[in-house]
Amino acid sequence: MDINPFESVIVSEPRRIERPVPGLNDLPLESLLRQVDKLTAGEFPKAVKLPGAQFIQSPAPGYGKSHLIGRLFKQLHGRATLIYLRPFTNPSSCWKSILLKMVQELEFPESAEAEFCGVDETNQLEALVHGILVNVMINGLTSGIIRHSHPAGAVAYFQRATLKRLRTNPQWVTWVERKKAGLAELMERQLKHKGILLSSSPLSWFSVLLSYAYFPKTYELRQSCLDWLRGGSIDDDAAGRIGILPADRPFHDLAIDPANETSKNRIVDFCSLAGFYRPFLFCFDQTENYGAEPSIAKCLGMVIQGLVDDCPNHMTVVTANQHPWRQVVQPHWEHAHVDRLARPVLELEGLRKEQAGALIAIRLHGWDPGTPQAKKILNPQWLEDVFRQSREIGIRHFLVKCSEQWRTGDIKPNTDSKPSATAKELEDTFQAYVNKIKTQPKRLVYDPDALFWLVQEVACRQGVAFKKFKSTRGYLVARWDVDGRKVYFGFEAGHHFKRWLAIQQEAGRYHAADRSSKVVFFRTPELRFIPGPGWKSAHEIAAAKRGYLHILVLGRETMAQLYAAYDLYLDTVEGNLPFKVDQVMAFIRSRLRPVWDGILEPAPEKWGGGPPETDPTPPDENGESKKTLIHKIRDIVKRDKFLSIADLMARLSPPVSEEELHRARACIAEIQVHTSPNMTVLQWRPNK
Amino acid sequence: MRGETVERQKEKILANLREAGPAGAKKAKLGVKSPKGSAAQALKELLSDRRVANLGSPTRPCYVLGEHFNPLQRACAQIERNARLQKPVDNPTPELFVKKELEKGCQGEVRKKVDEALDWLVQQKRLVKLRRGRSFYLASTDELKALLTPDRQPPEAAVEAQPRPLHSTEAHPVDRLLVQAAYLRLTSRLGYRNVEISELRRELDIHMDELKRLLLEESRDGHAVLSLGDWSVSSDETRSGAIELFGRPHLLVRFDAD
């Protein structure tokens, strides 16, 4: 099987990094860990603020920014709640976007190694809830506010208790449910003692967190909890069942600014509550992309200032490539924003010769060192030649050299003066990105930033279609003017019937003013169908869908293409790929023509609009079959060492879809995925 | 409320210090009037976070932003001024100095670094240490060299007549030191270690080709590390500093402490 172990040169998911090279960029990592130590010292609840965001600067692309975040994630496993943030694209909904990603990341497994929770595995949000509840109890018992015949024994019990143990104890669950109000008050008192006030009432927070963590099988209610945590509005009925107080139920008709503010408050509250457990780590990566527009760059400065000033119990890490940061991002920041970056700047360094040798050994782990390709790489003279001109080389630059050496055996230092990339190379790279996205089930969810970018940056026609726009009520945030027709766009992940009724009414007003116009909203398969089955307004919304309201439910294949296009663009801007940004934009514009055609389609009968291709299923409903599938995949890949996805699928009985396979495979940390334009290969690497 | 006031005071202090630049400012200019007020608290917190530093003494403070806190460099610069090392050699008789004369003008934290600065300048061969009996004197290396070199020409004329070969074994060590000193000034100002080659040239005010030759040699010898930077977002001036390595233009350089 023709796999090049040096082919993979970009870290796209920091939870999946390879073993680090000893000594490489240890200093910045140690500095970051020292900052986290400051956050974890002291008694619960903590209320510690760091004086600034940690700023990691790389002299050029490919020095290991995302890899360093991956190492930080590994080091902080069990010590911090880890949040990886790709760039937001719409300044007016920046906090909303961050909160959405934050909640998505909170659903990542607690283990920080796999990308998907295995059956019965705790996710980060459940761990946070458990930590809060346990420490409120321990504080209450220690201070005597919660009376117990053997307080010391009870404290010891809670110190050892796991979430699974507590939530499967019916007596405990009943007791907590009954005492919810008292416990929330106790939590509020403990927070107040540290000078912290929550924006939403502690009882609402307590009720939501408890419902989420203790009743994982009540799927609808759990989804409503997630909606509320994302700052969205939820039905009064669901809110009442969860126990969210009326004052804490976001109004269904929130305009974009108050919705953004609500999201920020939710993030501040999350950080405040983190004082009962462990700090948050927010990592802003791929920051070159904030340089796309001055307003986005400035907005990032405002966000960093907001996090540093208002959020306790967290560390923000910002990574950047030196030139783009100094030329197109920081110049748009105010002094107050720059002051929020901690000094000294943490700078990344390249590989030295002995470290390069270690990197080769890591990449060749699991490969036969006796093959001709491996021998060429392991030839000490080759390494000597590579480092003849400089004692240090960027990591990606070195991997590219290794990859060339593996393929061709050309031992002369290559001049690297690449000819301009051909259309075929671009197509192949795009296809490899599509394959990679398909292997990351967590990415195949609603991502308003990627979708907004598509509408704004790569609109069907360059410079003509996209117009800045904001509707009266704020539901529609972009517009295309194409051939005299207007196509309006809105982005809504929620499922509140009143909000969707308001959206339909606003769409109707714009359509009435111009009968040739239409309104497009994107939905993704994991979101619930619009309109909901029991909605009173279902009839009106369905009628609008037959006229002017185009709710475009993206299939997984289309999502993979859209998000792959977004990743391809982000990596090009970051300087990770040998393509020009304009070239990539033109390619994407042409490659996504079927998507544009679908959006522009004027005839409602051709819009589709039936239920999504797969109904979202409760996560634990088919737990046993998933567990069995994980075992089967593990056994086969462990035995075969290398295996293509197609071969693996052929050997699984009963047959499973590629999506099911990846959901199960993502739970196995030892499997490394290699993607190429034509195939996806799995490799067993227990010690990677 | 109190916390907000302190935060606001921090903003003001930082703004004042930014305006003051490397020269720094005294308490009064920072708006710190009462030792118990919120401004004093803000200053205390900024000092504890190392965003602000005191270059002076506790009784005669001189506050600067963290990025301008470089007492050793300031001590070196003051000593060089006192010893007239930065002036052209135009006097045939070398002048001897005692430490007291050279440390004139150094105060607070800068004064504490005088001994280290003298050691550094001697180590870098900018000054020569001479002994008579129990007393030590210091003199400019250039002045002594000029005295001992036959057929000496005034240095500026020499430069005009024959450009110094930066890569030659004789001239190289001196120029390397100049480059390193300029590099240190730049990194101290910028707050990071990978500096643009074009910016280093501006700081040195020498011919770009000479600097490039030296940096390439330093890179091969393992004393300097060249990095690519980002060509696409760089100005023409930045690009003028590009050094070809592995066939690609490298725009940044870093020197590490040996």
Task: Report CB contact under 8 Å: A413, B49.
Answer: no
Q: Give residue A411's pLDDT band: very low, low, confident or very high (50, 70, 90).
A: very low
Choose the closest CB to B227 out of A59, A291, A336: A59
pLDDT in tens, A577-596: 889 889 999 999 999 999 99
The reported pLDDT for the residue numbered B70 is 78
Q: What is the DSSP string of A149-206?
A: SSHHHHHHHHHH--HHHHHT-HHHHHHHHHTHHHHHHHHHHHHHHTT---SS-HHHHH
Choose the closest CB to A415 out of B11, B191, B247: B247
CATH number of A623-684: 1.10.10.10
The reported pLDDT for the residue numbered A571 is 87
Q: Which CATH number does the domain housing residue B187 bear?
A: 1.10.10
Task: Quote the CA–CA distance of A549 and A538 in Å, as a whole number.
Answer: 13
How many percent of chain B have pLDDT more than 70?
84
Q: Which two tokens stand for residue A435?
A: 């394959």
Poorest-pLDDT segment among B169-173, B229-233, B234-238: B169-173
Most confident of A109-123, A132-146, A597-611, B112-126: A132-146
For residue B177, give Cα distances in angstroms to A402, A490, B76, B214.
36, 61, 13, 11
Q: Is the pLDDT of residue A248 over 90?
A: yes
Q: Name the domain count of chain B.
A: 3
Give B105's DSSP letter: T
Amino acid of residue B74? R
Most confident of A124-133, B126-135, B146-155: A124-133
Q: Is the pLDDT of residue A113 over 70?
A: no
Are B143 and B78 contained in the same domain? yes
Last residue of a domain, one of B68, B100, B124: B68
ipTM: 0.78
pLDDT in tens, A299-311: 999 999 999 999 9
The reported pLDDT for the residue numbered A412 is 46
Give the strand pairing for B248-250 and B243-245: antiparallel
Q: Which two tokens stand for residue A118?
A: 């295995």
pLDDT in tens, B147-185: 776 554 444 433 333 333 333 334 344 478 889 889 999
Mean of the per-residue pLDDT values for chain B? 80
Q: Is the pLDDT of residue A349 over 90?
A: yes
Q: Give residue B137's pLDDT band: very low, low, confident or very high (50, 70, 90).
A: confident
Identify which of A178, A250, A245, A174 has the alpha carbon closest to the alpha carbon of residue A215. A174
A interface with B, Cβ–Cβ < 8 A, is 51-52, 57, 59-61, 291, 309, 321-324, 327-328, 335-336, 339, 343-345, 347, 349-350, 388-392, 394, 397, 413-417, 575
Q: Give residue A53's pLDDT band: very low, low, confident or very high (50, 70, 90).
A: very high
The reported pLDDT for the residue numbered A13 is 78
Q: Which domain holds residue B125?
A: 71-156
Task: Kindly report the nearest CA distance between residue B32 and chain A, in angstroms.
Answer: 20
Mean pLDDT throughout B82-89?
A: 63
Spell out which residues of chain B touch residue A388, defining contact as CB-CB under 8 Å: 220
Most confident of A653-667, B57-71, B124-138, B236-250: B236-250
The domain ranges of chain A are 28-109+276-347, 353-408, 441-606, 623-684
Are B89 and B36 contained in the same domain? no
Q: What is the SS3 assignment for B108?
A: helix
Are B148 and B175 contained in the same domain? no
Q: Give residue A91's pLDDT band: very low, low, confident or very high (50, 70, 90).
A: very high
**Searching chain A, which residue's CA lies closest to the CA of residue B231?**
A323
Are B31 and B75 contained in the same domain? no
The reported pLDDT for the residue numbered A283 is 97
Identify which of B113, B131, B9 has the alpha carbon closest to the alpha carbon of residue B70. B113
Mean pLDDT throughout B237-258?
A: 89
Task: Report CB contact under 8 Å: B7, A61.
Answer: no
Choose the closest CB to B219 out of A324, A328, A390: A390
Mean pLDDT throughout A650-667?
A: 86
Last residue of a domain, one of B129, B156, B183: B156
Mutate: best of A305, A391, A581, partner B, most B CBs <10 A: A391
Choose the closest CB to A347 out of B193, B219, B235: B193
Are B115 and B136 contained in the same domain? yes
The reported pLDDT for the residue numbered A613 is 46
Q: Which CATH number does the domain housing residue B59 bear?
A: 1.10.10.10
Are B140 and B86 contained in the same domain? yes
The reported pLDDT for the residue numbered B22 is 83
Choose the closest CB to B192 out of A61, A291, A347: A347
For residue A178, give Cα distances in angstroms to A174, A182, A207, A341, B2.
6, 9, 11, 46, 39
Spell out which residues of chain A touch residue B252, defining contact as CB-CB under 8 Å: 59-60, 322
Last residue of a domain, one of B49, B68, B87: B68
Q: Which two tokens stand for residue A252?
A: 């269904």
- Which CATH fold topology does A441-606 show? Trna Endonuclease; Chain: A, domain 1 (3.40.1350)
pLDDT in tens, A512-524: 999 999 999 999 9
pLDDT greater at residue A318 or residue A655 = A318
Q: Is the pLDDT of residue A239 over 70?
A: yes
The reported pLDDT for the residue numbered A668 is 86
The reported pLDDT for the residue numbered A587 is 94
Mean pLDDT throughout A74-78?
A: 92
Mean of the per-residue pLDDT values for chain A? 90
pLDDT greater at residue B8 or residue A503 = A503
Are B175 and B233 contained in the same domain? yes
Q: Is the pLDDT of residue A227 over 50?
A: yes
pLDDT greater at residue A668 or residue A614 = A668
Spell out which residues of chain B touch residue A59, defining contact as CB-CB under 8 Å: 194, 227-229, 252, 254
Burial B34-63 (b: 16+ CB within 10 A, else e): eeeebbbbbbebbeeeebbbbbbeeeebbb
Task: Report CB contact under 8 Å: A59, B232.
Answer: no
Q: Is the pLDDT of residue A122 over 50?
A: yes
Poorest-pLDDT segment among A12-16, B10-14, B55-59, B166-170: B166-170
How many percent of chain A have pLDDT more than 70?
94
Task: Report CB contact under 8 Å: B247, A389.
Answer: no
Give the strand pairing for B252-255 and B195-196: antiparallel
Element (H, E) at A549: strand A549-553
Q: Is the pLDDT of residue A24 over 90?
A: yes
The architecture (CATH level 2) of A28-109+276-347 comes to 3-Layer(aba) Sandwich (3.40)
Poorest-pLDDT segment among A163-172, A496-505, A556-565, B76-85: B76-85
Spell out which residues of chain A touch residue B229, defining contact as CB-CB under 8 Å: 59-60, 322-323
Pinpoint the alpha helices (H) of chain B: 2-20, 38-48, 71-82, 99-102, 108-112, 114-123, 141-148, 155-161, 172-190, 197-204, 208-220, 236-239
Residue A522 burial (10 A CB sphere; 0-12, 13-18, 19+): buried
Are B169 and B250 contained in the same domain? yes
Choose the closest CB to B234 out of A52, A291, A323: A323
Poorest-pLDDT segment among A87-91, A543-547, B243-247: B243-247
Are B126 and B59 contained in the same domain? no
- Edge-to-edge strands, sheet with B224-227: B195-196, B252-255, B224-227
